[in-house]
Structure 1
Amino acid sequence: EPSNSKDEMGELTNIFNDMMDQIEHSFNQQKRFVEDASHELRTPVQIMEGHLKLLNRWGKNDPIILEESLQASIQELERMKKLVQELLDLSRAEQIESKGSDSSALLLKTIQQVIKNFELIHEDFTFKLEVYGENLDNPLVQISENHLEQILIIILDNAVKYSDQIHKIDISLEEENGMVKITVRDYGVGIPDEDLSKIFHRFYRVDKARSRARGGNGLGLSIAKQLVESYSGEIYASSTLGKGTSITFTLPLIENR
């Protein structure tokens, strides 16, 4: 019948338009990704090039300059390796479709394991875990264990990196509208209000010189955001300058059956 045919054509047009929008969005995302990556990789390449040219001209005969240039080049190479790995992680995180109900992880078990690993690496830090609410005695959350670990490592790593005098990290869990809310709090340098909304942007660093010195590429929280949102959760931050920062993320709670 003609009316059905019209409806089908209209539906087909809508599907086609949606598909074209997705392709355009994907293309723009890819373009921005390549531009950002090129910009970030340029600096270590230029530093290494400068040192190698210096050595090539006359520095190789001077043991002090030789040592300094080799150390600086190795340091930049390490930075590039880390950056390339983070770029791959970000690229993969962007490709995750919303997982539906086919992924699950034991939240407490995973958090306790990650904390144990951090206590091993950072012996001078105290990590305290608090659980609020009866439904969280052994919560199952809708996310793959691997991705949950990755998010926790990124956030805890940041918390340690930006702690100053007080080497204490608090982790708390609570339930809210069928979601579990995980908050990681440090007592470090804090983030200015104008920077708070941007910390999840790619390559954004509140204090570029300080972040670079601490080995940060400004990609960690961007990867965490992509992962959290791909599992229908959200992530946000609150902070007081000089008092510390809290990063909170939510994940769907699977009813224990």
Structure 2
Amino acid sequence: MLTGSRGISLILAIAIAVLVMAFLSLIPSSTSAALWGTLILSFSISYLLISITLEFLVYREIGNIYNLLEKIQKKDLSEIQDKSLRSSLSPLRKINTVINSYALARQREIETLQKNAEFRREFIADISHELKTPIFATQGYIHTLLDGAIDDKQVRMKFLKKAAKSLDSLDHLVQDLLTLNQMESGVIKFSFTEFDLKDLIQEVIEELEHKASKREVTIKLEAEPGKNYTTLADRQKIYRVCQNLIFNAVKYNHNGGEVIVGIKSSKNQIQVDVKDDGQGIPPEDLKRIFERFYRVEKSRSKEKGGTGLGLAIVKHILEGHKSKISVSSTVGKGSIFSFQLPLEKEKKVQEKEPTEAKA
């Protein structure tokens, strides 16, 4: 059957040629040679034009659409390319482009869902592991006491203290999870006030000096004396950022190491650098250290405590301040964590002396 582009072109070309020849035959002066010449010429031109039009503007585009639909049906979207809508003689080309864009959008959604599913699996595995450790430890201490150790006062107090410590770790983990979830969902609001960032960091250092002294780690604050470091931010949350960064610098430092907290101010920004000379972070781990529960060395980190959520919370707090945390590290030499906050200019208030009342 003549259902292809060539068959349809042949039928239409013959019809056009016969119709043109019929009109010319009505003219008395038309010769048979002229009629046959017109027939052949009109047939040839019509056939070529119709064939090209059907082949390139209709059949080829329909074929492309069918191929694309087959790929979508088979979920084989790897070879689909992103094509923007552009002007074309064939409306089918635009339909093909729209379907192509739709397929790419669905592919991106599928990839996002797959990533989210993988993230959920990892998160469930991580949270199960983090919850299991303090729960099992507490169960062990309690069951040991119930099995008879409770009669020994010295053992009883020792095990109760360890159980309480495990429960405290569990409470910190739950609190950090709630905080992180509230930040991601936007429930926690930021209260911006002006304060001196240098004074805040000094408070953090004084709080952590006792823990640092146990490992003979010194914490130094480097700032320009008399310099203005006033910023506009949420003081409580920035306190937590500094507390977490300095605490990590102490915790992952070597015994007798040094932590340097530097504050620098430019025209509109204050930069805080927390530098340690500890073990450093391998390059392959740098991109993941701000993920939930991610630890560079899981065994050593577990021994040193912590929930594994501190840096994730730091990241979200700074994002809430339209800032970001950056890190550079060299294995065996140490790491530098940096962030920036806006610098508030000193407000000079000129007080006018009260004028004496005229008698």
- TM value normalised by structure 1: 0.73
Contact 2:280 2:330 in 1 (8 A): yes
Alignment partner, residue 283 of structure 2: 193
- The DSSP-based 3-state class of the residue aligned with 2:223 is strand
Q: In the alignment, which of 86, 89, 93 is matched to residue 176 of structure 2?
A: 86
Counterpart of 1:180, as a letter, is I
**Letter of the 1:128 counterpart:** K
Q: Is the 8 A contact 1:233 1:252 kept in 2?
A: no
Of the structure 1 ranges 213-222 and 83-92, higher mean CA displacement relative to structure 2 is found in 83-92
Residue 223 of structure 2 is matched in structure 1 by: 131
2:280–2:333 CA contact under 8 A, matched in 1: yes
- Cα–Cα, structure 1 residues 230 and 90, in superposed 2: closer, same or farther, change >3 Å? same
Q: CA deviation at 1:118?
A: 2.3
- Superimposed CA distance per residue, residues 163-214 of structure 1 (whole angstroms, 9 cap, x where no aligned partner): 1033311011223572211000011111111111111111111111111111
Q: Output the CA distance in 2 between the equivalents of 1:146 and 1:191.
A: 28
Instruction: Note the residue ranges of structure 1 that are not aligned, 5 or more in a row.
Output: 1-27
How many Å separate the matches in 1 of 2:253 and 2:260? 12
- Name the aligned partner's letter for residue 126 of structure 1: T
Tell me the equivalent position of 1:167: 257
Q: Whole-Å Cα distance in 2 between the matches of residues 98 and 67 of structure 1? A: 42
Letter of the structure 2 residue corresponding to residue 162 of structure 1? Y
The answer on 1:251 being equivalent to 2:316 is: no
Greater RCO, 1 or 2 (C-alpha within 8 Å, sep 6+)? 1
Residues 185, 90 of structure 1: alpha-carbon distance in 2 compared, 3 angstrom cutoff = same
Larger Rg: 2
Q: Which amino acid aligns with 1:253?
A: L
Indicate conservation of the 8 Å contact 1:141/1:252, yes or no. yes
Q: Does 1:145 align with 2:235?
A: yes
What's the CA shift for 1:99? 5.1
Cα shift readout 1:134-162 (whole Å, capped 9, x = no counterpart): 9x812221212111211111111101101
1:7 counterpart residue number: none
The whole-number CA distance in structure 2 between the counterparts of 1:79 and 1:98 is 26
Q: Distance in 1 between matches of 2:137 and 2:261?
A: 39
Question: What residue in structure 1 maps to residue 130 of structure 2?
Answer: 40
Q: Percent identity?
A: 34
Instruction: Report 1:48-59 matches (<5 A).
Output: 48-50=138-140, 52-53=142-143
Q: Distance in 2 between matches of 1:96 and 1:231?
A: 15
Could you list the per-position Cα deviations for residues 10-30 of structure 1 after superposition, in whole angstroms to 9, with x for gaps in the alignment? Answer: xxxxxxxxxxxxxxxxxx8xx
1:218 aligns with 2:303: no
Residues 1:131 and 1:68: Cα distance change in structure 2 (over 3 Å):
closer
With over 3 angstroms needed to count, the CA separation of the structure-2 counterparts of 1:188 and 1:97, relative to structure 1, is: same
Q: Distance in 2 between matches of 1:42 and 1:154?
A: 24
- Please, which of 256, 273, 276 is the counterpart of residue 183 of structure 1? 273
Q: Is the 8 A contact 1:166 1:187 kept in 2?
A: no
Secondary structure of residue in 2 paired with 1:200 = coil
Q: Equivalent residue of 1:250, what SS?
A: strand
Deviation at 1:34, TM superposition (A): 8.0
Aligned to 1:116: 206
* Contact 1:47/1:76 (<8 A) preserved: yes
Code of the residue aligned with 2:317 in structure 1: it is L
TM-score normalized by the length of structure 2? 0.54
What is aligned with 2:294?
204
